[in-house]
């Protein structure tokens, strides 16, 4: 017997406003063709002026609770993966906690940028397994539009806003691969890559929020090797092979990175969930947004083996293997 973190439901939220590539081409020297060819992105969602990360997070959380059929009063852990919190403190997770009327347990933010959701799965899995919580909300929520330099064509076309959430509950499993829930997680970081992807501001450095800066080519190079490595480790740990994967739900940064991963795993294209075309890169929100789409449209079914992998600033990266 062992405790498993079972996923009871998922949900997501996107802001109303869609910004197309053509609209961006009116602001910076770019084109729909360049953006689509290099990234696969067609449009992205951008939060309203008064819409905060906590607002997106709360709406995604409510959708996930409804999908799970679980009342907010049962929640005793809220983890919000975000690199764009409402304020420097308190944690955006505590704002969500208040919005949901939850008054027990713990709520905190987790900062691993685009790897935030995979890191969050690892942290929540541990807390549920050690009995420190029973019913958890894991949210990935971002308003990257607030930290983009809208004059920099090499970055502003790549990102979007959004949120996704899942509800997890501690349940008894057998401990083997037939269990549903999180089967294993592997998380990594290497701070030597700071300069390849960072924000040039913050409370302790400039006192401003700063703007995202990126060496796209270096990120690309690392992403196509680190994520497959983390996936291999997940498969080895569980004794599975790539052909056992029903669905790959990768971080959604660039269609070329996603396709390279699918190819390395020899996965047919229709087993890879892709939303980067519609959402662009929503950082910690990208995996739960993609997951929710594929669960709601019936692609991902109970019992399916789902592999997640992400990579982000730091660098941080990792994988999570679960049975839906
Ligand atoms: N529109 C038009 N041209 C653009 C452009 C844009 N939005 N952005 C950059 N360019 C130009 C560059 O200035 C460069 O011009 P030059 O050759 O005259 O210098 C040219 O396009 C090629 O740029 P390059 O950076 O070499 O393109 P690329 O093929 O590496 O694609 C990225 C750029 C950013 C799409 C790609 O590197 C990438 O996706 N990297 C990973 C990013 C990522 O995933 N980040 C998040 C990780 S969580």
- Mean pLDDT value across residues 156-172: 98
The answer to whether 273 touches 291, Cβ cutoff 8 Å, is yes
The single-letter DSSP state of residue 130 is T
98: domain CATH number is 3.40.47.10
Both tokens of 195, joined, read 């300069």
Q: Do 116 and 32 lie in a common domain? A: yes
Whether residue 97 is found in the same domain as residue 38: yes
What share of the chain has pLDDT > 70, as a percent?
Answer: 100
pLDDT digits 0-9 by tens, 280-297: 999 999 999 999 999 999
Angstrom distance (rounded) from CA 61 to CA 12: 7
Active-site pick, 67, 186, 251, 279: 251
**Is residue 112 exposed (0-12), middle (13-18) or buried (19+ Cβ within 10 Å)?**
buried
Residue 73 has pLDDT above 90, yes or no: yes
**pLDDT recorded at residue 204:** 97
- Parent domain of 126: 2-173
- The radius of gyration of the chain's CA atoms, rounded to the nearest angstrom, is 18
Q: Please tell me the predicted confidence (pLDDT) of residue 286.
A: 98
Residue 69 pLDDT > 90: yes
Q: Return d(Cα 211, Cα 237) in angstroms, integer.
A: 38
pLDDT confidence band for 132 (50 / 70 / 90): very high
Residue of 6, 10, 21, 114 marked active site: 114
* Same domain? 192 vs 289: yes
Return the pLDDT at 27.
94
User: How high is the pLDDT of residue 300?
Assistant: 98
Contact 43, 321 (CB under 8 A): no
How far, in Å, from the CA of 26 to the mean position of ligand 1?
A: 18
For the cut 90, the answer to whether the pLDDT of residue 1 exceeds it is no
Say whether 114 is catalytic.
Answer: yes
**How far, in Å, is the centroid of ligand 1 from the Cα of 217?**
7
Residue 205 sits in the same domain as residue 165: no
Whether residues 200 and 81 share a domain: the answer is: no
Work out the pLDDT band at 55, boundaries 50, 70, 90: very high
Distance (Å) from CA 253 to ligand 1 centroid: 12
* Claim to verify: residue 167 and residue 85 sit in the same structural domain: yes
**Which of 173, 204, 223 delimits the end of a domain?**
173
Average pLDDT, the chain: 97
Residues 145 and 7 in one domain: yes
> What digits encode the pLDDT tens for the residues 108-122?
999 999 999 999 999
**pLDDT score recorded for residue 71:** 98
The answer, yes or no, to whether residue 46 has pLDDT greater than 90, is yes
Catalytic residue (choose from 21, 184, 254, 281): 281
Cβ(290)–Cβ(274) below 8 Å: yes
pLDDT of residue 48: 98
Q: Are residues 249 and 140 in the same domain?
A: no
Looking at the structure, do residues 80 and 211 belong to the same domain, yes or no?
Answer: no
Q: Is the pLDDT of residue 31 over 90?
A: yes
Provide the whole-model pTM: 0.97
Does the beta carbon of 17 sit less than 6 angstroms from any atom of ligand 1?
A: no
251 is catalytic: yes
Same domain, 161 and 198: no
């Amino acid at each position: 017997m062992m405790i498993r973190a079972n996923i009871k439901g998922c949900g997501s939220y996107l802001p109303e406003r869609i910004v197309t590539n053509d609209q961006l081409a009116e602001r910076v020297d770019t084109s729909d063709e360049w953006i689509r060819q290099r990234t696969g992105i067609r449009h992205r969602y951008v939060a309203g002026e008064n819409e905060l990360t906590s607002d997106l997070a709360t709406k995604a959380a409510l959708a996930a609770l409804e999908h799970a059929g679980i009342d907010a009063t049962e929640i005793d852990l809220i983890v919000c993966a975000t690199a764009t919190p409402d304020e420097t403190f308190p944690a955006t997770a505590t704002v969500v906690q208040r919005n949901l009327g939850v008054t027990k347990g713990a709520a905190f933010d987790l900062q691993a940028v685009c790897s935030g959701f995979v890191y969050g799965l690892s942290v929540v899995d541990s807390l549920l397994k050690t009995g420190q919580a029973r019913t958890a909300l894991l949210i990935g929520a971002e308003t990257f539009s607030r930290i983009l330099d809208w004059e920099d064509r090499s970055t502003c076309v790549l990102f979007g806003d959004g949120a996704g959430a899942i509800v997890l509950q501690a349940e008894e499993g057998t401990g083997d691969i037939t269990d549903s829930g999180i089967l294993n997680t592997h998380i990594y970081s290497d701070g030597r890559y700071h300069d390849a992807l960072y924000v040039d501001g913050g409370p302790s450095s400039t006192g401003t929020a700063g703007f995202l800066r990126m060496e796209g080519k270096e990120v690309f190079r690392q992403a196509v090797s680190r994520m497959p490595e983390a996936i291999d480790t997940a498969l080895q740990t569980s004794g599975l092979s790539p052909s056992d994967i029903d669905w790959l739900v990768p971080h959604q940064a660039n269609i070329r990175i996603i396709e390279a991963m699918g190819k390395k795993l020899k996965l047919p294209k229709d087993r890879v969930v892709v939303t980067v075309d519609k959402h662009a890169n929503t950082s910690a929100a990208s995996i739960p947004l993609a997951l929710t789409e594929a669960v709601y449209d019936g692609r991902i079914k109970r019992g399916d083996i789902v592999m997640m992998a992400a990579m982000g600033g730091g660098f941080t990266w990792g994988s999570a293997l679960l049975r839906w």
